[in-house]
A and B are shown apart, each in its own frame.
Chain A
Amino acid sequence: MTTDTESPAEIRPPPRPRPENPVLAGLIEPFGDAEWTLSNGDDVVRLPRERLADLAAAARRVGFETCADVTVVDYLRRSSGRFDVVANLLSLQHRLRLRILVAVSNDDPACPSLVSIYPGANFFEREAFDMFGIRFEGHPDLTRILMPDDWEGHPLRKDYGVGSVPVQFKESHQVS
């Protein structure tokens, strides 16, 4: 069973020229292909996935000490790539948050891992792999974390039907 949910319209605020914050402006400057924008007040950068690790490493150098979160959004039938990998970085010294969005296609659901830059991304990336089937390349132990190891499919994908999993032990009370 697949859900017949339609993909949402492109959720992408128009790119803006340059962040006001000097730290962010300096960080994004060398990345010509990065689009910076404000999404409801949050600083968001969207860039090609090959550049994710570079930007994260640069962010770590300018003072984003910790990776608060890594997650994935499934837009199902979006033309610019089905998935968005979302990394939330946090800088304690600048009191700043930065969200990096990377589009990942359905044919090649892979994305560079952040574990070598932010070791704390480990569990988050394992969860994202478990729930969406995104391969984080370079991750030291990309195994399922929440679902059983022999589970088939990735439950948070939009085409993973709710209720399609056979109920276990349902015959146990039947008397033949």
Chain B
Amino acid sequence: MAVKDVWLSGTEEFEPTDEGHQEMELHESGPRLREQLGTVVSDDYVLEDDLSDDERMIVNMGPQHPSTHGVLRLQIELEGEIIRRSKPIIGYLHTGMEKTAETLTFMQGPTNVTRMDYLAPFHNELCYSLAVERLLGVEVPPRAQAIRVLLTELNRVSSHLVALATNGMDIGAISMMLYGFRDRELVLAFFEKTTGLRMNHNFIRPGGVAADLPPGWRADVADIVETIPRRLEDYDDLLKNNPIWLERTKGVGVITPEECLAYSITGPTLRAAGVAWDLRKNFPYSGIEQYEFEVPVGQNGDVYDRYQVRMAEIHESLRIVAQVLETMPKGDYRTDDRKVTPPPRQRIDESMEALIHHFKIFTEGFRVPPGEIYQAIESPRGELGCYIVSDGGGKPWRMHTRAPSFANLQALPIMMADSLVADTVATIASLDPVMGDVDR
């Protein structure tokens, strides 16, 4: 098929392969998305056969589209201006990180996973580290746990700020974009001071964290806790008094709680639909149960409710951060289990064994007992899970990440069915997918 024809029909043709002994139809026939292709949409839409093909067409949105938040491609079946069916097509950012993880030691693992969900790197590191620690049976000291909670909750703030910013930008509230990114810099500056990097920190590691908090961290965190809530009120005023923004978010991209549960959708999308499910409350980890916070819940499951849930979650996360600031325990920032933690610097000068031990930990890594484990935490996008199989060696036999964005993308065809083309960008933005997390 000539390039011109592909362009005209709006479909693409691929060579079918006999891979998997299954009939694979890789192209659409005519201007209709095949039923049951991609995500199963429970659509109550009855095909009207008297509609000619001229009134129906398939439009590709993305992968290079500014409002798809990365390289997400959507095939959309249109009838006039109404979306009938749609199908997300992913994989443009696939880099095989699960394969890479099999070649890295458990100590090097966080370097790899931190690059998956690049807006919430601390959550990836925490999830991986918790899984490895459970396999090892290592206890993490209270100060390390508090540092982890502090960093992940601040990370939730910065991630949700980006979600609000891009949500505003996609609907035309450009000022929200500038404000959101400005406030995120406050948090990222603190991360840079603590870990040395704005993103991809590799700071939370099996056994604790890489270093203690820097001098003056209290003032920085207190500044964040004091500044951001005040500004959030301004943004709330800015958006909620904007009739255009309200029109474009209320009642748009609706999903019911039943659909959310059936399609494995978690995080703010599930909570906006009215299900109070937060792994921090239901399966607490890293000592988060000792802090007081609420789980904000929406009612309608639309774009507006997801915005409100995220806004409320920023407030709740800052509430946790304020409590951590008050109750930060003293002590070690990593476990004193010598199996995982290298010996202290002064011991290396005195003892040959300590030097060898230090060298061994950083070259071949520590050995993890055989076993398999699934650890899930609440990332800003939903349930982030890490499934690790260890064969008793220094590297994982298999590391699988249950990426929240990946599962949440299955909600798009449901949210977008029978909606207008213009609502597509609002719906995608409210789902807040991170393509690095989707494709891994």
- Name A's B-contacting residues (CB within 8 A): 8-9, 11, 13, 39-42, 65-69, 71, 73-74, 86, 88, 90, 92, 95, 97, 99, 115, 118-124, 127, 129, 131, 133, 135, 140-152, 155-156, 162
Contact = CB atoms under 8 A, between A and B. Distances in A.
B181 interface: no
B265 A120 contact: yes
A146 to B, nearest CB: 4
Q: Range of interface residues on chain B? A: 35 or more
A147 B374 contact: no
Q: A-B pairs with the 4 shortest C-beta distances? A: A8-B391, A120-B264, A146-B91, A140-B36
Contacts of B283: 95, 97
B157 to A, nearest CB: 26
A42 B209 CA distance: 25
A145 B263 CA distance: 17
A99 B372 CA distance: 11
B196 to A, nearest CB: 30
A139 to B, nearest CB: 9
Interface stretch (B18-26, B198-206, B305-313): B18-26
Contacts of A42: 373-374
Interface stretch (B46-54, B62-70, B394-402): B394-402
Contact of B90 (A9, A41, A146): A146
B320 to A, nearest CB: 21
B8 to A, nearest CB: 21
B392 A122 contact: no
Contacts of B227: none
Nearest to B135: A40
B407 interface: yes
Interface in B270-288: 275, 277, 282-283
A119 B283 CA distance: 24
A73 B277 contact: no
A123 B410 contact: yes
B179 to A, nearest CB: 34
